[in-house]
Structure 1
Amino acid sequence: MSCWRGGEETRILVAPDSGAIPNSVGRLLSLRHPKSASTTCYLLNDGLLRELHWFKQPYSSWFLGDYVCEDGRLYTATPVDPVFVLLPIFEEARMKKGNDPGKFRQLDEILFVNGHPEYCHLISIAENCMQLVCDTKEIGSSKFFRLDDSKVLAWLHCKEKGKSESKTKNTGKQQAKKNKVETESRNIKEMFSRVTRSKRN
């Protein structure tokens, strides 16, 4: 948990401590939410992107040493796959019309988003992760990207499959636990039955 004091405001943020890794600097970014397109705050830290959420109970505050923070909100940083955040940007950038797959463009062009200049901080992340869902071309030292529908669908399928497998594993564990409880319950009942029969005899 970190405390940030800036000017007159203090905030409590639950996130990995960037101070634990040398030369690591966290950066707050205002980006478009992939679903609503509304401006949302993200934390970029150690090459990982996290979405910020906040929670506040009425009449809450924080005690920080000998200081009282009146704003009792708790901010959390939740990991998010940057592909989800970047998909709408890459979709717009290819300027697809009808059956035309659209244009190849360089990352600095794609991530130049009016009103959201902080997308430029995602260039290194985008270069690594967006190759999963894009066709790429290299001309000299320049690399060009274009979103590919079939790759996006394959990526989404893998994501959904991963969730399904995770759910199946959890369901399997729950079923095993339930079976164990039922077995133990039967064993206890049988034990009491034997004790009761032996007392009668």
Structure 2
Amino acid sequence: MALWCENMALPPRVLVAPRPSGANGQGNFLLLRHPKQEEETQYLFTDGQLHEFSWFKERYGSWFLGDYVCEDGSVYYCTLVDPIFVLLPLFEAARMLNGKDLGKFRQLDEILYVEGYPGYQNLMSIAGKHMELVCEVKEVANMKFFRLDDSKVLTWLCCKVNSIKEAISKLGKNYAAQGERELLKEAVQIIRENLKGEPWLTVLCKKLQLDINEINDMAKTNDTSFCADSSPVPAPACPSEGGVGNGSAKSSKGRPAKKLKPEVGSKNIKDMFRRVTRSGK
């Protein structure tokens, strides 16, 4: 009998993600540019929502996958990301600012055409309604034209900061005890992860009367003091662009994928916990 993993190009990984509600039960992995670092980054687009990947791995750990053990105990999980963050650099470039000129109005399909990144085309269905929050929109002959508006972007960023600040204050007593200014800094730190320093972080800090150098120094401190091994989705485990769950019989180097070996004499994980419970340990 064929093994469920024998045709997979890479060893299985554990991903915590929303289950697509479509008829085919699939979402799409999209290769896009990170809005801050501008490096290639994988996103999950499903049911009209965009998700970013995070990765966590403890020093020791494995996963039980049916009758098999996956030695890699890391876990990938998806969290919602506002598409405006991802689309903001595209709309900023599309208006082609020249001196004091406010820039050009462009159609959505022009703005989302990025050579080498066809994944942006998948966002056509949601880009318009989201970007209307931060753009001037003109409609000519039933066609919409968009131009990024700095004042609308700043208003949207301030709303984001306030929403995050309120959410942080409800996380626990330690956060609730923080002063208004400390909560504001925490919220800007989170926004900063998907925002370019120039011009948006600069104008946001100026609006909120925060020192951008202090915000950047806080970020450096957080990066060096974070002990858990967390990094972007590693290349070997990163899914290729396309439908979720699509596999290949060969690895990225053209060699047949390794097969997982069953654990000889292994027991069901539930039985293991039952035995520990009964023994009172």
Measured in 1, the distance between the counterparts of 2:110 and 2:96 equals 12
Query: Which has the higher mean CA deviation after the structures are superposed, 64-73 or 148-157?
Result: 64-73
Greater RCO (CA < 8 Å, at least 6 residues apart): 2
Supply the distance in 2 between the matched residues of 1:117 and 1:85 (Cα, whole angstroms). Answer: 14
Summarize the Cα distance change of 1:111–1:6 in structure 2 as closer, same or farther, 3 Å threshold: farther
The 5 A counterparts of 1:49-88 are 49-58=50-59, 60-88=61-89
* Alignment partner of 1:130 is 2:111: no
Unaligned runs of 5+ in 2: 178-281
**Partner of 2:30 in structure 1?**
29
Q: 1:29-178 residue pairs with structure 2 within 5 A? A: 29-58=30-59, 60-168=61-169, 174=176
What amino acid sits opposite 1:46 in the alignment? D
Q: Which amino acid aligns with 1:67?
A: Y
Deviation per CA, 1:109-154: give whole Å up to 9, x if none: 1011122111000111111100000011111121111111111011
Q: Is the 8 A contact 1:34 1:84 kept in 2?
A: yes
- Displacement of 1:72 in angstroms is 3.0
Kept after mapping to 2: 8 A contact 1:25/1:46: no
Change (3 A) 1:72 1:107: same
With over 3 angstroms needed to count, the CA separation of the structure-2 counterparts of 1:108 and 1:162, relative to structure 1, is same
Question: Structure 1 residues 129 and 69 mapped into 2: Cα distance closer, same or farther (>3 Å)?
Answer: same
**Shift, 1:98, TM fit:** 1.4
Paired amino acid for 1:159: K
TM-score (norm 2): 0.55
**What is the rounded CA distance, in whole Å, between the counterparts of 1:90 and 1:157 in structure 2?**
19
**Aligned partners of 2:176 and 2:139: how far apart in 1?**
50
- AA aligned opposite 2:11: E
Q: Which of the pair is proportionally richer in strand?
A: 1
Q: Secondary structure at the match of 1:132?
A: coil
Preserved contact between residue 106 and residue 145 of structure 1 (Cα < 8 Å): yes
* Partner AA of 1:114 in structure 2: E
**Mapped pair 1:16 → 2:18:** yes
Q: Between Structure 1 and Structure 2, which shows a larger proportion of helix residues?
A: 1
Moved more, 91-100 or 53-62: 53-62
Please give the per-residue CA displacement for 1:62-121, whole angstroms capped at 9, x wherever unaligned: 221113334333111011111011101110111111111111111111011122111000
Distance 2:63 2:167 in 1: 37
- Contact 2:106 2:145 survives alignment (8 Å): yes
Rg comparison, structure with higher value: 1
Contact 2:95 2:105 in 1 (8 A): yes
How far apart in 2 are the matches of 1:17 and 1:117? 24
> Post-superposition shift, 1:33?
0.7
Amino acid at match of 1:113: V
Cα pair 2:51 2:80 within 8 Å, conserved: yes
Give the TM-score taking structure 1 as reference length. Answer: 0.76
Q: Give the distance between the partners of 1:36 and 1:149, measured in 2 at CA.
A: 21
Deviation per CA, 1:5-62: give whole Å up to 9, x if none: 84343221101122xx242531111111111101111111111111012223345432
User: Residue type matched to 1:112 in 2?
Assistant: Y
Moved over 6 A (4+): none
State the identity %.
55
Change beyond 3 A, Cα 1:116–1:68: same
